[in-house]
Amino acid sequence: MGSGAGIGTPIGGVGTDIRLRELNLSDGRDVFDMLHEIPPEENGFMNSAHELSFEQFPGFLRKERDSSEGINLDKSRVPQTIYWLTADGKPVGFGKLRHYLNDSLRRYGGHIGYAIRPSERGKGYGNILLKELLKAAKCRGISEVLLTVAEHNTPSRRVIEANGGVLAALSDGECNYWVRLV
């Protein structure tokens, strides 16, 4: 379990029990099914688990857990932690928090990537997920977070702006937003 406000504890108001929690090696079919619902690539967000069989899923979890600890990383990658957003116990989305930026991530990818499963979109989960990922970033000592998003991805741009994102650059159809964490 991670540290930080909202991580593994109820978030928000009355009615729905919403939680953000780190990937766990015991994650099961519910998380696997969510990952299969999210496309393998959508608006620049890569879901490498989309094509996995359920038998391959534990290996994916181990690889991602190792990544969060900086173990066996390819030289082009940085440590990142995967988080699941759940609503009343059902996984509705996931996010990737990169612990720092390399040159490649400064151009494309940034600190945070996130996706909501298609069947749960339009319910405000993207806003909640980003808000909680920003809290997790702050707990990791990150003071400014870079988010990159396709210029045409209006829903994600609105979510980023609602969470304090300031457009810093627009180049080749890609928007770079910075969020200062105070």
Is residue 5 scored above 80 in pLDDT? no
Domain that holds residue 92: 18-141
Closest CA to 18 of 98, 87, 96, 68: 87
Please indicate, yes or no, if residue 91 is contained in any of the structural domains: yes
Judged on CB neighbours under 10 Å (0-12, 13-18, 19+), 25 is exposed
**What CATH number is attached to the domain comprising 127?**
3.40.630.30
> Between 7 and 71, whose confidence is greater?
71
Q: What is the mean pLDDT of residues 149-173?
A: 95
pLDDT on residue 13:
53
Residue pair 112/95 in contact by the 8 Å Cβ criterion? yes
Q: What is the mean pLDDT of residues 109-134?
A: 96
Q: What is the mean pLDDT of residues 63-75?
A: 94
Torsion angle of C-alpha atoms 170, 144, 105, 3, degrees rounded to 10: -140
Number of domains in the chain: 1
Please indicate, yes or no, if residue 156 is contained in any of the structural domains: no
Please indicate, yes or no, if residue 45 is contained in any of the structural domains: yes
| pTM score, whole prediction | 0.89
Please indicate, yes or no, if residue 112 is contained in any of the structural domains: yes
State the pLDDT confidence band at 44, using cuts at 50, 70 and 90: confident
Residues 114 and 9: their CA atoms lie apart, in Å, by: 19
List, for residues 86-103, the tens digit of each pLDDT value. Answer: 999 999 999 999 999 999
Please indicate, yes or no, if residue 2 is contained in any of the structural domains: no
Residues 17 and 172: their CA atoms lie apart, in Å, by: 40
List, for residues 142-153, the tens digit of each pLDDT value. Answer: 999 999 999 999
Please indicate, yes or no, if residue 151 is contained in any of the structural domains: no
Question: In one letter, which amino acid is 133?
Answer: L
